[in-house]
């Protein structure tokens, strides 16, 4: 992976960490990895990078689960949080 793509990926993961979600076109993420398809290997690497980036770079002790979904040709990344938490 090229350094500029790695930086873009880290920015994407930080957006998920602090805003709760982010998305990028599926082809773009696959291209960052030098592949033509968004594969299971990419999914695994994203989760590994998520965990290491949050603990090593951001200093988080508890790492929320990273969820991935494909929506209209985009990969939607979100951390494991409730969209509508029960707050009464």
Q: Domain limits of the chain?
A: 3-79
The CA-CA-CA angle for residues 63, 69, 74, to 5°, reads 115
SS3 content of the chain, % helix, strand, coil (to 5): 50, 20, 35
pLDDT above 90: residue 19: yes
Kindly indicate the confidence band of residue 80, based on its pLDDT and cuts at 50, 70 and 90: confident
**What pLDDT digit, counting tens, does each position of 22-73 carry?**
999 999 999 999 999 999 999 999 999 999 999 999 999 999 999 999 999 9
């Amino acid at each position: 992976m090229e350094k500029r793509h790695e930086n873009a990926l880290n920015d994407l993961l930080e957006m998920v960490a602090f805003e709760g979600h982010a998305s990028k076109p599926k082809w773009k993420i696959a291209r960052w990895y030098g592949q033509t398809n968004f594969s299971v290997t990419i999914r695994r690497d994203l989760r590994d990078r998520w965990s290491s980036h949050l603990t090593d770079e951001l200093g988080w002790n508890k790492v929320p689960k990273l969820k991935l979904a494909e929506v209209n040709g985009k990969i939607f990344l979100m951390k494991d949080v409730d969209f509508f938490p029960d707050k009464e």
